[in-house]
Chain A
Amino acid sequence: MRKISILVFALALVFLFGACVPKQPDAAPTPAITDQTDPESPTGDATEQPARPTRDTLNLCVQTPLITTDGQGTNNLQAKYVLTQMYEGLYYFNEAKGELEPRVAESYTVSEDGKVYTFKLRDDVYFHNGDQVKASDVAFSFNRALTKPDIASFASNIVEAKAVDDTTVDVYLQTPYAPFLVNLCHIFILSEREVTEQGEAFGTQISTAGCGPYMMTALDNDVKWTLEAFPKYYRGEASIKYINYIPIADAAATIIAFEAGEIDWIIADTTSFQTFAADSKYNTEAMLANHCNWLAINPDANDALENDNVRKAIAYAIDKEALNYAAFDGLAGIADYLENPDYNIGAPRSSVKYNYDPEKAKQLLADAGYANGVDIGTLMYASSGYWPKLAQVIQANLADVGIKCELEAGELASQLVQARAQDFDIYVCGASSYGDYDNIRRRFYSTLEGSYFVKYKGQKFDWQRMDQLMDESCAATDIETRLALTEELNDMLMETATYIPLNHKVQPYVWNAELNVVNQPNYYCVYDWSWN
C-alpha cells in the first residue's frame, strides 16, 4: 500500500505540474492562420481562433470594460487608450517628442494680449457619421468641455469658444495661458449634431461623433468592441483595418492571452518583460511613462515633520536605485524633478535635487536635534501594484538613518480623500502628467481649494511667491522666460521637501514581432502602426 501511495503521488505530481513544463516547439499543433481577407470575420474573432492574427486586424486588451464612448466623458487611462483612436483634438501632443502636431486645426494665431487664440481648421475633416467638421462643432466641443468635470482641468482658463466662419474658431481665455495649447490636445472634437440628438444617451452606445482614424463598429462592452479604419480620415485610411479590444482584468491572464496569440501588444510587468526581451518571437521596448512617483511629506503632521531638516533628511535617506530595482526590476527612471523635462513643456532641469546620501541624512537629523533617531508616524501606501514594494524599501531606508515609521496600507480611493484632507504623515503616491509643467498646479497652487496634498498657506512657506511664479510662468509665451520662472519655482518647491520625486514609472511594452509599433509614453496611436 505504501508503494502504491508513492506511485500515485508521483503520477499526480507529473500530471498536475505538466503545465509548468516549458513548451517544446514540436509538441504543440501549429495554430491556424486566418484568411487575411475573410469578409465573414472582419473582427478577427480572437476567442474562436486563438492563433496568429490576420494582417489587417489588431487584437488589444484593456484592464476594464469601456466606461464610456463619449470622448469627453472620462479621463480614465484605460478608456482613453480606446478613445484616442476614435477622437481627435485641434492638435495632438506627441508625448515622446514633447511637441505639438496639427490635427483638426491647420494653424493658429494668438492675439497681442495672449487671451484670444484663433484656429484655422482643415476643410477635409469628417466625423464618422459623415458630417463635415465645422467651426461650430469645435466651439460646441470646447464649451461642452467646460461643463464636464472629468476633463474640466484641461479647459481651465477658457471663457468660451466662438465660430467665426465654417473653418475659423476663436477661443477666449481669462488670462494669457501658455499650457493652453497642450491642454487643448485633450479636448476631443465632437459632432454637435450627434451629441445633441442623443442627449443623455451619448456615451452609452456606439459613437460616430469622433473624427479620428478609427470608428467604432461593434460594442459588447463586457466582451469585446471593435474599431474599424475610417475610410474618409483626412490623413489617409489607417494601415491596420480593424482593432478588437478585449477587457482582461488580471495581469497574469493578460500575459497568457498574449502568449497564446490572442493579443498582439501588451504592457507587461517588468519581470515578464525580461523573459520576452530574450525571446526573438517578440519585440520589446521599456519606455518611461509620463508619470512621476513621489513621497509626500506633511509638514503639519507632527513636530518632527514640521522641522525642515527632518524632511530633508527623509529625502536624502531614500535610495531611489533600490526602489527602482525592488519595484520595477531596474527598468524605471530615477526622478530628480517634479515633472519629467523630456516629456513636459516648461519643465525645468533645476538644481535642487535629493540624491541618496545617508550620511547627510544623519547629519541633518542631528542638526534637527534627533541624533538618536526619531519616529515620524506612518507611511501610507496603496495596497495593490508596486506600492507595497516602494513602501517597504522606503521604510528600510529611513530605518537605516534612524527614522522610524509604521506602514499603513489602504485603498487608493480612500487614501486620496485622506490626502486631500492632509490627513497623513508621509504618503508614497504618484500621478501621470499631461505634457506641461503646469500639471504641478494641482499640487501646489494655494487657491485651488482642497488641492492635494499639502496646503502651503501660512507662515512656513512663501506661498505667495510660489503662486506668483506659477501665474507668471503660465503667462509667459516665450519659452526661455518661462523656463527661467519655472526653474525658480521648481527650486522653491523642492526646498520645501514636501514632495520628494522618486521615479518615473516604466511601460514594459511587448508585441508580436511582425507588428511595426511606434510606442508613446502614456498613450498610443494605432494609426502609426502596421503589420509586416
Chain B
Amino acid sequence: MYKYILKRLAWMIPIILGVSVIIFLILSLTPGDPGTFILGAGGTQADVDELNHKLGYDLPAWQRYFKYMFGVVRLDFGTSYMTKLPVLDEIVAKVPVSVSVAFLGILTSLLIGIPLGVLSAVKQYSLLDAIPTFLAIFLAAAPSFWVGLMLMVLFSVKLGWLPSQGITSIKGYIMPMLSLGLIYGAQTLRFTRSSMLETIRQDYVRTAKAKGASKQAVIWKHAMQNALLPVITVTGNNFGALLGGAIVTETLYGLPGLGTYIVAGIKSKDIPVVMGGTISLAILFSIVMLLMDLLYAYVDPRIKAKYAGSKG
C-alpha cells in the first residue's frame, strides 16, 4: 500500500511538468502582453515596452519558462505582475478559502444527496421518490449563477439574514455552501439513487433479508457500503473540480479563492499568477484523487485485498 502511495506521489512530478508546459504554451501563443493590459488603451507603445521589460516579459518564451520553473523548484512561484506580491503568499492565502468552500459544499451535497438518494431508491415510484427526483433534475439543470443569485435575493435582500458578500464571519459561508450543496447534492442524489437501486436487487441483499436482518440493517449496512462506491468517485471528482472551478460561486459571493485568482490572472496576462495557481491546483487535485483511491480501499475490502495480494 505504501509503495502504491509513493508511486502515486512520484507520478505528480510529470503531471505538474506537463500542466506547466501546456499552460505556458497557451499563454505564450495567445496574443497580448501584460504591459498592454496594465497600461490600457491610454499607454503608448514605448511605455508598454518599458513595462514589459521591467516585468521580464521581453525575454524569449523558453527562457521565461525555464526561469520560472527553476524558481518553482526553490518554492519561488514568482511575483504577480499586477499586485507585485509573491504569488506563493497569495496562493497560500487563497487555498484555505477554496478548500473550505469546496469541502463545505461537498459536505452539504452529501448530507442532502445520500439520504434523499437512499430514500428515493427504497421508496421507488412513491411521492418520496418523485419529489427528490424532480428537485434533483431541476437543480441539475439550473445554472449555478442563477441559484446563487436567487439565494442572495432571498436571504440577503428579502430576509436580511445573511451577508451577500465576503466571509468575514461564519454567516458568510452559509450561502456559498448552500449554493454548491444544492447543485452538487442533486448530482449525488441521482448517483446514490441509481446505485442503490442496482444494489438492493443483488443476491447478497436478498440473502440478508432471508436471514432475517432488519430492513435498516440491510439498507445501511449491507447495501449502502457497495452503493457508495460510484458516489465516492463522483464526490472526489467534484471536490477536485470545485477547488479551482467554483468560479461563479466565488465571484458572486466575493470569496477570495483560487478560481477567481487564476481567472483574474488569465485576463490580465499575469503569467506567474496563472502558472502558480494552475500548478497548485494540479498538486491539490492529485492529492484529492489519491485520497479518494485510498478511501475506496477503506470502503471496499476487495480493493485492499487486491493491493495486499499484489504486494505478496
Contact = CB atoms under 8 A, between A and B. Distances in A.
Which 7 residue pairs across A and B have the least CB separation, nearest first?
A450-B45, A222-B256, A413-B32, A47-B163, A19-B154, A149-B51, A260-B156
A442 B158 contact: no
A431 B264 contact: no
Contacts of B145: 252
Contacts of B63: none
A260 B162 CA distance: 10
15 contacts: A5-B130, A16-B138, A20-B150, A46-B166, A48-B171, A50-B156, A153-B42, A253-B165, A253-B251, A256-B149, A256-B152, A257-B156, A413-B268, A418-B31, A429-B41
Interface majority SS on B: helix, strand, loop or mixed?
Answer: helix
A8 B158 contact: no
A216 to B, nearest CB: 15
Interface in B151-187: 151-154, 156-160, 162-169, 171-172
A157 to B, nearest CB: 13
A337 B287 CA distance: 59
A452 B41 contact: yes
A160 B50 CA distance: 19
Interface stretch (A119-127, A243-251, A506-514): A243-251
B252 to A, nearest CB: 5
B159 to A, nearest CB: 6
Contacts of B166: 46-47, 223-224, 246
A133 B234 CA distance: 62
Given A204-B84, A246-B166, A417-B32, A256 B156 contact: yes
A153 B47 contact: yes
Contacts of A68: 83-84
B36 interface: yes
Contacts of A250: 251-252
Contact of A262 (B48, B50, B149, B164): B164
A31 interface: yes
A67 interface: yes
Given A153-B42, A449-B45, A450-B48, 5 more contacts: A47-B167, A204-B83, A253-B152, A417-B31, A449-B46
A414 B32 contact: yes
B38 interface: yes
B109 interface: no
Interface in A415-464: 416-418, 420, 429-432, 434, 439, 442, 448-452
Contact of A150 (B38, B268, B269): B38
Contacts of A420: 36, 45, 48
Given A64-B264, A149-B47, A247 B157 contact: no
B251 A249 contact: yes
Contact of A47 (B30, B32, B171): B171
B135 interface: yes
Contacts of A204: 83-85
B127 interface: yes
B160 A74 contact: no
Nearest to B83: A67
A152 to B, nearest CB: 5
Interface majority SS on A: helix, strand, loop or mixed?
Answer: loop
B162 A50 contact: yes
Contact of B42 (A23, A50, A248, A432): A432
Most central of B93, B165, B166 by chain A CB within 10 Å: B165
B160 A29 contact: yes
B284 interface: no
A47 B267 contact: no
Interface string B12-52: 00000000000000000011110111111111111110110
A413 B267 contact: yes
A278 interface: no
Given A51-B160, A256-B152, A413 B36 contact: yes
B192 interface: no
A28 B85 CA distance: 43
B77 interface: no
A45 interface: yes
Nearest to B148: A253
Interface string A43-67: 0011110110000000000001101
A48 B163 contact: yes
B131 A8 contact: yes
Interface of B: 30-33, 35-48, 50-51, 54, 82-85, 93-94, 125, 127, 130-131, 134-135, 138, 145, 149-154, 156-160, 162-169, 171-172, 251-254, 256, 260, 264, 267-269
A5 B135 CA distance: 12
Nearest to B269: A413
B47 to A, nearest CB: 5
Contact of A19 (B93, B158, B162, B163): B158
A75 B145 CA distance: 31
A418 B85 CA distance: 30
B159 A224 contact: no
A371 interface: no
B36 A417 contact: yes
Given A47-B168, A252-B149, A449-B46, A149 B260 contact: no
B41 A416 contact: yes
Given A47-B171, A413-B37, A262 B43 contact: no
Contacts of B138: 12, 16
Nearest to B138: A12
Nearest to B43: A153
A302 interface: no
A316 B187 CA distance: 55
B199 to A, nearest CB: 25
Given A67-B82, A256-B153, A74 B38 contact: yes
Given A260-B157, A411-B267, A413-B36, A253 B253 contact: yes
Contacts of A200: 84
Contact of B167 (A149, A223, A432): A223
Contacts of B48: 149, 420, 450
A18 interface: yes
B172 to A, nearest CB: 6
B42 A149 contact: no
B38 A76 contact: yes
Interface string A149-186: 11011000000000000000000000000000000000
Interface in A2-50: 4-5, 8-9, 12, 16, 18-20, 23, 27-29, 31, 45-48, 50
